[in-house]
Structure 1
């Protein structure tokens, strides 16, 4: 009897061939993942937190934030759990840019040495991190392009050049929406669209009729809500006009005010700025609204956005009235419960329609769509792509080592 197994097919890829020969294990080669982010972990809970918390099930994750300016010079390492650590550089006020980069490079090198990080994935949200990471040698570089940062107010002038450099270095590029994918797909051979996903169970709690939060409970009805960062992307003139046109509607805004003067925000007895809320609190607020808003300005900073709040509102059972943001229109704008409006008059008319009939005929289709776009599935699809690239890298390393020893 022959000891050879019958051949039933040829492996389709080099990594499959290597696996069949026992040269590559099913476990990814890298043990650590270092993320370089322009956002803070304890800021609005969004894409980076959803993805990197799930990544910590497969890697030891180091999430590096933008520096904090204070009177000390050190790298704070703040554990979230055994597999996830937040890195916060502290820089003295008045430190020039070159010194900042030198210090951050030094701290990064010390971190790699101290924690024996030798085989890792580098995950970038901001290309500007290349200023102090050009020298590191990750097993794999991933660029998760969640926004067109160069279009944001106050963007560094060298950001576009740094992004070109990052696109050359990265093996995988993820985009935060379809529009951003269209803008980047010809700039790199492996670009993948991963639009905003949803924690359906979390926001679905809002449909159960949760208790009204204390700072909202005294407000009259109907309530028209917005949740998110209040910055240059929000059309504050539109918001002010709506509040004037409909003094009988209460407009509730949750979120931090960033990069704009709070004094520039419209004021009125039916405008309520309740500040940033914890992610865990949001379903209770949503549960006591009647309509949710996406009142974005149409400018360069909103050209490629894919608002995370759209699926969150919908999972909470809220009809949505949105500016004609391209990704909202293409994904949800075919029928209610999503209304697309341009200008105060259309917004007023659409809100009134949503209050009268919150799109009951289309909820079944929307719920089915939301069920297919969980953060868990998004991370699984990303991780599969990462693992494939890690296996390719390991095969390449094995081939190089074999060539040297032969």
Structure 2
């Protein structure tokens, strides 16, 4: 979880919290060849202090956690902590924060992290500990809510939302990004982390079946080998793009894709990109992710496909729909009515205030 990795739920919510309170965002550690650990602190445009611990290479996990506790304690000792609150995105952070005297503890659970590839073996135990300490628990989707509500008395589902004003820029003409200009049409696009949740076999099969379609993939590669990604003349990996630049790429797509593998890592996800794609005026084709099916399956603007054959048919249908963009945009706006990060944050804040009262 780095502030500048992928701009998503933590950034949207914490930027809004920063308008009312001082926010310290403690990142995962980086490695240094120096003998001593140190803490890098930088301030974002929103006034958030992003704190990155630099730790000597070769430390054990216990030594890592002890070093992070020392760095955080030293930093807090020199500040006016006031009414300290802890807002967790990973239970693993308990190792260096569980001793802090916090008036409020929030666990915003985005995903079932224990199901992810290379998840720490202590994660489930730490999450159980965090559930005992937290005053309120938020989940990033309904499926995750159904899973977590068994373990805490105050759990609330707040599915990830959308900045409509940002993404609807793609509904109008925008300058074409230079690395996408040469890609022929039709363009079928995806942005997000390319990891174990990405259905490699599906994209490989689609690209082979329809060499006349162009598949544009944006995002960093994590936890899988780049060599394992499907390679073809009509698959274009353009790398990670900034949140600000996403509308420019979306404006040049005909259909937006969510080719998620159906596995334990995707069982509880509620992809933020679904409403973002729709706000950009792009028809969506997705594999049957539970939260996508339950929330958008009957919306008429998201098509669900279970395999390469049905996915190909769904894309073909969506391409036909894309020819009447104005009508689709109207339907998408109706589906997204009332959805915003401001409203999501207001709902969360109301639950936080109930805990404090």
TM-score (norm 1): 0.85
> Is the 8 Å Cα contact of residues 124 and 142 (structure 1) preserved in structure 2?
yes
Correspondence for 1:403: none
**Where does structure 1 lack aligned partners over 5 or more consecutive residues?**
1-38, 393-406
- The answer as to 2:282 corresponding to 1:291 is no
CA offset digits 1:204-262 (Å, max 9, x no partner): 00001212110000111000000000000010011000000000000000000000000
Residues 1:124 and 1:53: Cα distance change in structure 2 (over 3 Å): same
- The answer as to 2:178 corresponding to 1:214 is yes
Partner Cα distance (2:95, 2:290) in 1:
33
Correspondence for 1:224: 188
> Is the 8 Å Cα contact of residues 321 and 328 (structure 2) preserved in structure 1?
no
Partner Cα distance (1:352, 1:369) in 2:
22
* Offset, 1:387: 2.1
Partner Cα distance (1:378, 1:357) in 2:
30
Residues 1:214 and 1:81: Cα distance change in structure 2 (over 3 Å): closer
Pick from 322, 327, 334 the counterpart of residue 368 of structure 1.
334
RMSD between superposed Cα atoms in Å? 1.3
Partner Cα distance (2:65, 2:257) in 1:
40
Aligned residues: 353
- Computing the radius of gyration over CA atoms, which structure comes out larger, 1 or 2? 1
Partner Cα distance (1:49, 1:187) in 2:
26
Residues 1:118 and 1:107: Cα distance change in structure 2 (over 3 Å): farther
> Is the 8 Å Cα contact of residues 177 and 327 (structure 1) preserved in structure 2?
yes
Partner Cα distance (1:49, 1:43) in 2:
10
* Offset, 1:71: 2.0
Structure 1 runs of 4+ aligned residues shifted over 6 Å read: 359-362
* Offset, 1:362: 6.3
SS of match in other structure, 1:53: helix
> Is the 8 Å Cα contact of residues 299 and 335 (structure 2) preserved in structure 1?
no
Of stretches 366-375 and 190-199 in structure 1, the one that deviates more from structure 2 is: 366-375
Correspondence for 1:55: 17
Pick from 225, 229, 234 the counterpart of residue 261 of structure 1.
225
Partner Cα distance (2:32, 2:82) in 1:
31
Partner Cα distance (1:89, 1:342) in 2:
43
Correspondence for 2:41: 77
> Is the 8 Å Cα contact of residues 178 and 327 (structure 1) preserved in structure 2?
yes
- The answer as to 2:343 corresponding to 1:381 is no
- The answer as to 2:120 corresponding to 1:156 is yes
Partner Cα distance (2:202, 2:282) in 1:
21
Counting only pairs closer than 5 Å after superposition, residues 110-189 of structure 1 correspond to structure 2 as 110-189=74-153
TM-score (norm 2): 0.96
* Offset, 1:124: 0.5
